[in-house]
Amino acid sequence: MIKLIVGLGNPGRQYEKTRHNAGFLFVEYLTSVANATWSSSSQFSAELAECNIGGCKLFLLKPMAFMNKSGLPVGKLLRYYKLSPDEMLVVHDDLELSEGLIKLKRDGGHGGHNGLRDIIAHIDSRDFYRLRIGIGRPVAEEKVADYVLSRLPIASQARLSGLFEGVVKNIEGLVAGNFVHLSD
């Protein structure tokens, strides 16, 4: 059963609606449909929201450390609430998936994603769920860093919203641990 959903991203206005903030965008979308409210938590160096999905209490977390330092806030929250890594879903951008695709997986490495790398290092476990949000790769000679930190075009934002809507339709099953499929 999932009790914590972590959205990865970078804090600050300059990073809003960038490809690298796909995780933040997802948990922000989820809070809006669940009528939850974000509160700033200095204890966890994060923004935290609580909601009830399918009768289950669910924490939503946006670490306010930069992406590559997400592990400390995540580790603090897991320890404080005595949650195990397998009760956590981390939502993050993924260059290896085409834009608009998602992939749900459990366990595994960081795949070069520094936010995941830091979480794995701080919680000393790979045993958690990941929702990978495809952002595609840059075209031609654009640097990866410039690409992931660039603002999403309007069409891409619309695609993500549609994708998020499909995931949220299945969120009760996800929270309950039913990972059979995600449908539109």
Q: Report, as residue numbers or ranges, the catalytic residues.
A: 20
Flag whether 184 is in a domain. no
- pLDDT (tens digit, 9 = 90+) per residue, 14-72? 999 999 999 999 999 999 999 999 999 999 999 999 998 888 899 999 999 999 999 99
Listed in order, strand segments (DSSP E) in 44-134 are 46-53, 56-63, 88-94, 102-106, 129-134
Do 21 and 15 form a contact (C-beta atoms < 8 A)?
Answer: yes
CATH number of the domain to which 28 belongs: 3.40.50.1470
Residue 86 has pLDDT above 80, yes or no: yes
Structure tokens at 104: 């749900």
Measured distance CA(122)–CA(137) in Å, rounded = 28
Flag whether 129 is in a domain. yes
Residue type, 122: H
**Could you give the angle at the alpha carbon of 44 between the alpha carbons of 61 and 178, nearest 5°?**
30
Mean pLDDT, to the nearest integer, of 123-138?
A: 94
| pLDDT at site 184 | 40
Residue 181 has pLDDT above 70, yes or no: no
Flag whether 140 is in a domain. yes
Mean pLDDT, to the nearest integer, of 129-139?
A: 92
Flag whether 36 is in a domain. yes
Flag whether 72 is in a domain. yes
Flag whether 182 is in a domain. no
83 versus 184: the higher-pLDDT residue is 83
As for how many domains the chain has, the answer is 1
Q: Containing domain of residue 24, as a range?
A: 4-176
Flag whether 181 is in a domain. no
pLDDT band per the 50, 70, 90 thresholds, residue 183: very low
Q: What percent of the chain has pLDDT over 70?
A: 95
Residue 83 half-sphere exposure, CB side, CA atoms within 13 Å? 24
